[in-house]
Structure 1
Amino acid sequence: MPEGDTVWQATKRLHHALAGKVLTRTDFRVPQYATVDLTGRTVLDVTPRGKHLLTRIEGGLTLHSHLRMDGAWKVFAPGRRWTGGPAHQIRVVLGTDDRTAVGYRLPVLELLRTADEDRAVGHLGPDLLSPDWNPDQALANVLADPARPLGEALLDQRNLAGLGNVYKSELCFLLGVTPWLPTGDLPTDRATALPVLAARLLEANRDRPVRNTTGRRNPGLFVYGRAPRPCLRCGTSIRVADQGDGSRDRPTYWCPTCQSGPTPHTARP
């Protein structure tokens, strides 16, 4: 699933292509909006909220979309062939005189009143990439359930919005604890560092085409996707296991030497 930095980049492309321009074509290819026509209206802005995209349109309307696992927004110049997938995967087309934005495989697509945006995103915790990011509230949310594994708490968008499975693993490595550590067992100094590191990771990568969490010249990650290669710090083989609440298990990576805390018996090299 795309994480906050990926959504930020998609939103930036859409905003550059559409904001301040009049829609000359709209084509909704989902049954509930098949008759909707927004041509003649101006796109006001495109704003990210965690992993959600909010396209605000003249007349008090907001097009809310979420990419989840496979969704994508593509922007095309006039005459350019659309390359985001087969035509039957297109869910919406928004066109102006000089750009066309095409939404592919969007599992969430709804048109709502801008005044009602909270209906779609009001449940989200503080947004890591928002100007009103509130680190204290985010940390309080994460620590609210002391028995909950840290990795699960970080992925809960009600606690803080924008982190996904990649940054969960990388953040836990930087904190020196495993994603299975109960949040109540997180040492005070590391708890204090958590929201600072989380925001720093996303801010550093929001405009990068390739993620880099190591700070090294060659882009790369400390642990995610690296099992069973050696840890970049200590040389121990990175391990991987699924973590989840039962509704969806996610591959989770860690270094058994650099990170302290419980680990699952199902770990694999």
Structure 2
Amino acid sequence: MPEGDTIHKLARVLGPALAGAPLESVATRARRGAVLVEHGAMTVRRVSARGKHLLIALEDAAGRAWRLRTHLGMYGTWHQYAPGAAWHKPDHQAWAVLRLADRVLVCFHPRELAWQLLSEGRADPERLDARVGPDLLDATVELDEVVQRIRTNCDPARPILDVLLDQSLAAGIGNIYKSEVLFLQGRYPLTPVGAITDRDLLDIYCDSARLLRRNLKPGPRITRARAETDEYLHVYGRGGQACRTCGTPVERALLGEHLRATYWCPSCQPGNLDRPRDHQ
């Protein structure tokens, strides 16, 4: 899945290009295998990000408000083309096509796409508020409230790595930041969240928000304080290599509810693992 900073950077790129722009046409596909449905000319009112969701607010000729929401997942991408240029992916993978006079924006193969009429009294027709927790990149986010949200909604036995990836608790952390933040905090990935104090849990989310904000600027994703070229991360993607802090080989295993690749240093993040380790 993408990290939250990826979607916020995408919104920052698309926002200036689209906000206030007249679209000659908008077309969306409701699901895999469905046909592209044309919605006519629209005007873009706003482009924003919420966690891992890109939100494009539009208005049709009748003044009705619409919203295009995409969640890219592991394989989704947005492309920009000149009018008439060949696309780099097959047409059937295009789930949204926005045509302007001077360019065409195409969303290929998202994990989710929703096209919604925002009628009066239904500002949140998809109930995103119930699905997506506080955005860690929101300047007004209250991290103390995130901690309380976790205490209220999580089984104390739930491993911290699953808590971090649960977007209904706090939005923005993906698989890379999960491993990197737990390393920075010296926390074993399978530690039950109930065994972590409120103060330490707050520190984990403070670090997460700090790293997400740091990586909003252009360039590679960096989590190290001082990163040499091509050595930007502490543990992610470094299974079997020496820990940059202590020299112990970094461990890799598929862990958690969704068996996501997880990296950690067994010396800097001590704990027990009752399944085979994978150094690939």
- The equivalent of 1:67 in structure 2 is 72
* Partner residue in 2 for 1:166: 176
Task: Answer with 257-266 or 149-158: which moved more.
Answer: 257-266
Moved more, 72-81 or 59-68: 72-81
CA contact (8 A) 2:28 2:115 kept: no
Shift of 1:18: 1.3
Separation in 2, partners of 1:264, 1:159: 27
Distance 1:38 1:239, change over 3 A: same
- CA drift at 1:118: 5.4
* Correspondence for 1:50: 51
Query: 2-side partners of 1:217 and 1:156: how far apart?
Result: 29
Q: Aligned runs of 1:168-207 on 2, under 5 Å?
A: 168-207=178-217
CA distance change for structure 1 residues 33 and 45 in 2, over 3 Å: closer, same or farther? farther
Picking from 57, 67, 92, the partner of 2:96 is: 92
Deviation at 1:35, TM superposition (A): 4.1
Moved more, 72-81 or 15-24: 72-81
Alignment gaps of 5+ in structure 1? none
SS at structure 2 position matched to 1:122: helix
Instruction: Give the CA deviation at 1:204.
Output: 0.6
- AA in 1 matched with 2:128: V
Per-residue CA distance 1:120-139 (angstroms, 9 max, x = gap):
42121110112332211212
Distance 1:240 1:264, change over 3 A: farther
Paired AA for residue 38 in structure 1: G
Shift of 1:36: 3.6
Partner AA of 2:10 in structure 1: A
Structure 2 counterpart of 1:238, one-letter code: V
Query: Take 2:270 and 2:30, find their aligned partners in 1: how far apart are those partners?
Result: 48
Match 2:128 to one of 107, 111, 121: 121
In 1, distance between residues paired with 2:274 and 2:78?
37
| Cα distance in 2, alignment partners of residues 35 and 227 from structure 1 | 45
The Cα shift of 1:77 comes to: 3.7
Residues 216 and 75 (structure 1), Cα distance of their counterparts in 2 relative to 1, 3 Å cut = same
Q: Which residue of 2 aligns with 1:108?
A: 112
Deviating more after overlay: 249-258 vs 59-68: 59-68
SS of structure 2 residue aligned to 1:75: strand
| Counterpart residue type for residue 174 of structure 2 | G
Query: Residues of 2 paired with 1:128 and 1:33: CA distance?
Result: 36
Q: State the SS of the aligned residue for 1:201.
A: helix
- Quote the offset at 1:264 in angstroms: 3.7
CA distance in 2, matches of 1:51, 1:86: 24
Residues 78-119 of structure 1: CA deviation (Å, up to 9, x unaligned): 454433x12221112101122321010123111113344352
SS of the residue aligned with 1:253? Answer: strand
| Structure 1 runs, 4 residues or longer, greater than 6 Å off | none
The CA deviation string for residues 140-180 of structure 1, in whole angstroms up to 9 with x for no partner, is: 23344321100001111111001111111111101101110
Please state whether the residue corresponding to 1:10 is helix, strand or coil.
helix
Q: Distance in 2 between matches of 1:213 and 1:35?
A: 42
Which structure 2 residues correspond to residues 146-165 of structure 1 after superposition, within 5 A? 146-165=156-175
Aligned to 2:187, the other structure's residue is in SS state: coil
Aligned to 2:40: 38
Instruction: Specify whether residues 79 and 215 from structure 1 end up closer, same or farther in structure 2 by C-alpha distance, changes over 3 A only.
Output: farther
| Residue 208 of structure 1, CA deviation | 3.3
Paired residues, number: 265
Q: 1:193 to 1:29 in 2, by over 3 A?
A: closer
Q: What is the DSSP-based 3-state SS (H/G/I as helix, E as strand, rest coil) of the residue aligned with 2:190?
A: coil
Q: In the TM superposition, what is the alpha-carbon distance from 1:72 to its structure 2 partner?
A: 0.9
Q: Share of identical aligned residues, percent?
A: 37
Distance 1:118 1:30 in 2: 16
